[in-house]
Chain A
Amino acid sequence: MKRILIVDDEPHVIRVLKLALRPRGYEVEAVSDPREAMDKLKGFAPDVLITDIQMPGLSGRELCERIHAEMPQRSFLILVMTAMAARENREWVGRLPNTEFLEKPLSPRSLAARLDDYFAPAAAAAGA
C-alpha cells in the first residue's frame, strides 16, 4: 500500500484528501503543524509527501529544504501545493530534486489520477 503524508495547516484540506485517497487504496497520514513533519517522517516513511507553502511556524519551502538537507538520498516525491506559481517558487522547487508543483485550487480527483499515474509503472512492474 502506497503511503502519502500530507502537511497542511488547513484541516479541511487534510480531511478531503483523506476522503478522496483512502478509498483508492492509499495509506494517508497528515500533520497540521509543519514543525511536526520531520518527526513524523522518522516513523512514517511516505512514498509521496504533499505540502502547502504558506503555513504558520514553518513554511513549505523551509520544510522542503530541511528534508533535502537531512535526507539527501530520499526516494519519495514531494508535491508542493501552491496557487502562486511565482518565479521565486519556481526557482527553489526546480532546484530541489524529485520535487514538483501541485496547482491550487486543488482537485482531489486530478490529484488521485496523478498519483495513480506516478505509481502505475511500479505497480505494473510488480504485477509482471
Chain B
Amino acid sequence: MIGAAVLVIAVVVGLWFDRQATLQRTNTRTQGVGLVRVLSSLPYEQLLPKSGRPQLLQTVLQMNRSTELGYGVIVDTRGATLSEVTTSGTLIPAAPQTADAASWFGERRLISPGDGRTIREFYGPVLDNGEIAGYIRLGFFDASPAAIGLDQLSFAAMLALPVFLFAALFHFLLKREMRPLRELGERLRQLSGSGPAEDNEPVVLGDLRELVGRFARFIEITHARIHEIEAQRFTAQTSSHMLSYRHEKAESVLHALPEALMVLDEDGVVTFVNAKLKVLLGIDAEAILGLEARVAVPLPEVAAFLARCSGARGMRGDTLEFSPAADAGRTIAASAYPLFCPRNPGNTLGRLVVFRDVTAESLARQAGAEFVSHVSHELKSPLNVLKMYSEMLLENAGDSRELRIEAVNVISDEVDRMADLINNLLNVSKIEQGSISLDRQRVRLRDLLEDAVATAARNATEKNIEIQLKLPQELSPVLLDKNLFRIAIGNLIGNAVKYNRPGGSVTLSADESEAEVAIRVRDTGIGIEGEDLARVFDKFYRSPNANTTASGHGLGLYLARQIAELHQGSLSVSSELGQGSEFTMLFRKSHAMAEESVRI
C-alpha cells in the first residue's frame, strides 16, 4: 500500500512538473507576444528617440526582471542593430529577418552565442509612418526545469504533504471498506480450499486510477486559476509601467517648459518645482521641496507673494513683477493660479505659481513709454512756439513790420519742422515694423544728388552756407529706392547746413571703387566729439553740446542709417572738433549686387 502511495505522489509530482513547464512556456509566450505587440504599436520616435537612449526598451527590460527576458533589440530591415538593451552577460544571437509582411510577427528558437542556452525570441515590426522601418526582437531564455523546481520548491513541498496524508487516509478508509469483501474472499477461499490472493488487486488499482485522475483534474483547475492570476498580474504590471512611463514623460514636459513652475499645496508647502526654477531664480529644488514656501524661498519679495497667494484670498491670478537682487537687470513676473480638483471644481488642490522672464517685454514697454514721451515733447515744442508767435502777431500786429516778418518766418519754420518730424516718424515706424518694401530701381546718382542739393539750397542760402557738389565724370548706376534715398541724403545735407557756421560750406561728393559707391557729406561746422560721435545715430539722441539754436528732433541720422542698412549699405561718421564732420554712405554697385544674387 505504501508503494502505491509513493507511486501516487510520484505521478502527481511528475504531472505537476510537466504542467509547470507548459505553464512557464505559455507564460513566456503571453508576455513575449504581448510585449512585442505593445511595443510595435508605439510611435517610431518613442521606440527610437532622437537622443539615442533606448529609454523605453530599458524600462521594459527592467520591469521584466522577474522573468527571463534577456535582451530587447531594434534592427532595421536589413538586420543591422539600431538600438539594443541586454541584461548583463547576454549576447544577442544574429538572426535574418524576412521582409515578407506575413512574417512580421513571429516566434523562433535561437541559441545564445555566449552560453549555448536556448532562447525563445519574439519579434514584430517597427513602423514609421505606416512604413516598415525595422523589427523589434525580444529574447527570453528558456527556463530550465531545475529553475522551476527550485523556484517553486516550497509550493511543491506544501502540495506533497496533503497528498501524502490524503493517500494514507484513503488507504485506511479503503482498507476498512474492503474488510467485508476481504472476509468474503477469505470465506470463499476457505470454501473452495484454495484461490489466488491477488483477485482483489485490480479493484484497488481501478479506484486508485480514478483517484489520480481526480487529482490531476484538481491540479489542472488550480493551475488554470494560477495562470489566470499570473496573466492579470502581468497586465497590471505592464499598465503600471506604462503609467509611470507616461508620468515621467509628463514631468519631462514640465521640466522643458521655458517658464519656472512651482506647485504649492493648500498649506503653502512646495510639492513640485521644475528645473527652470534654478535657472531663473537660482533656487535649488532640494532646498524648498516639502517645505513651506513663505519660509523656504530665499527671495523676500517672492516669499511674501507666495504667502499672500497661498492664503484663502489668493484665488485668482495674482501677479508680481520683480527684479532679483542678484541680477537687477532682469525683470521676472510671477503669476499664481488656483489648481481646481477635476472631480469637484469647487475645491482647490493648491496653487500653481509660474515665473517668467519678462525683461524683454519690460524693456520694450519702457522704450515705448520713452518714445511716446519724446514724440509728444518734439511735437509740442513747435506747437508751443506757434502758439506764442501767433499770440504775439495778434497783439503786436501793427507795431513793427520786422516783428511781423520774424513771426511769420518762425511759424513757417516750425510748421516745416513738425512736418519733417511727422514724415520721419512715419518712415521710422514703417522701417521698424518691417512693413516698408524697397522699390529698387536703377538710379542715375548724378541726377539724384543734384536734386538733393537743389532742395537744400534755399535753406542754405538763407544761412549764408554754400553747397558744393563734386562728382566724377562717370558714375555707375546703383540699385536704390529713390524716395528713401532722397530722405537719407536730405537728412544728411539738412544736418550739415543746420550745424554749420555762417559763411561755412557743405560738400557733397561721390566716388566709386570696383564694387562700391561712396557718397560723402562734409561740413565746416563745429564737429562732434567723444560720446556724441558714438551716439549720433541713436534714435532721439541730441547732443547736449550741440548748438541749441538748431531745431533737430533726433531722428534724421537714425533714419538715414536705417535706410542705408535697408539697402545693405552703411553710414558712418568721422569728425574733428572745430573743423567739421564727414558722413559717408556706402552702397554696393548694381552689377556687384547682380553678381552676388547670381551666386546665391
* A binding-site residues for B, Cβ under 8 Å: 9-13, 16-17, 19-20, 32-33, 35, 54, 56-57, 83-84, 104-109
Contact = CB atoms under 8 A, between A and B. Distances in A.
Contact of B549 (A11, A20, A84, A109): A11
B154 interface: no
B403 interface: yes
A82 B493 CA distance: 33
A9 B386 CA distance: 16
A104 B384 contact: yes
B331 interface: no
A32 B389 contact: no
A35 B545 CA distance: 11
Contacts of B546: 56
- Which applies to chain B's interface (DSSP): helix, strand, loop or mixed? helix
Contacts of B410: 12
A16 B380 CA distance: 16
Nearest to A12: B385
Given A10-B384, A32-B548, A57-B544, A20 B389 contact: no
A19 B544 contact: no
Given A83-B376, A84-B376, A105-B383, A16 B549 contact: no
A41 B385 CA distance: 26
B544 A56 contact: yes
Chain B interface size, under 10 / 10 to 19 / 20 to 34 / 35 or more: 20 to 34
A106 B395 CA distance: 15
A19 B387 contact: no
Interface in B370-402: 373, 376-377, 380-381, 383-389, 391-392, 395-396
B223 interface: no
B19 interface: no
A16 B389 contact: yes
A9 B383 CA distance: 15
6 contacts: A9-B548, A13-B385, A57-B544, A83-B380, A105-B380, A107-B388
A33 B542 CA distance: 13
Contacts of A11: 548-549
Contacts of A35: 544
B395 A109 contact: yes
A17 B383 CA distance: 15
A9 B414 CA distance: 15
Contacts of A105: 380, 383-384, 386-388
A15 B373 CA distance: 25
Contacts of A19: 392, 396, 403
Contacts of A84: 373, 376
Contact of A20 (B373, B380, B387, B392): B392
Nearest to A110: B391
Contacts of B392: 16, 19-20, 108
Given A12-B389, A56-B544, A57-B544, A83 B384 contact: yes
In the A-B complex, the 8 residue pairs with the closest CB atoms: A57-B544, A105-B387, A56-B544, A16-B388, A12-B385, A83-B380, A105-B384, A54-B377
A33 B386 CA distance: 22
A56 B388 contact: no
Given A12-B410, A83-B384, A104-B384, A109 B389 contact: no
Nearest to A10: B381
Nearest to A34: B544
Contacts of B58: none
B118 interface: no
A108 B388 contact: yes
A32 B545 CA distance: 12
A109 to B, nearest CB: 6
Given A19-B403, A83-B376, A109-B391, A56 B542 contact: yes
Interface string B356-382: 000000000000000001001100110
B543 interface: yes
B391 A108 contact: yes
Given A11-B548, A12-B410, A104 B391 contact: no
Contacts of A10: 381, 384-385
B548 A13 contact: no
A11 B551 CA distance: 9
A105 B387 CA distance: 6
Nearest to A57: B544
Given A13-B385, A104-B384, 7 more contacts: A11-B549, A16-B392, A35-B544, A56-B543, A105-B384, A107-B388, A107-B391
A100 B542 CA distance: 28
A57 to B, nearest CB: 4
Interface in B447-465: none
A106 B384 CA distance: 6
Contacts of B381: 10
A34 to B, nearest CB: 9
A13 B387 contact: no
A20 B410 CA distance: 16
A16 to B, nearest CB: 4
Contacts of A106: 384, 387-388
A70 B525 CA distance: 37
B567 to A, nearest CB: 31
Interface string B524-554: 0000000000000000001110101100000
A56 B551 CA distance: 12
Contacts of B391: 107-109
A35 B414 CA distance: 26
A20 to B, nearest CB: 7
Nearest to B392: A16
Contacts of B548: 9, 11, 32-33, 56
A11 B388 CA distance: 12
Contacts of B396: 19
Contacts of B376: 83-84
Contacts of A33: 548
Nearest to A20: B392
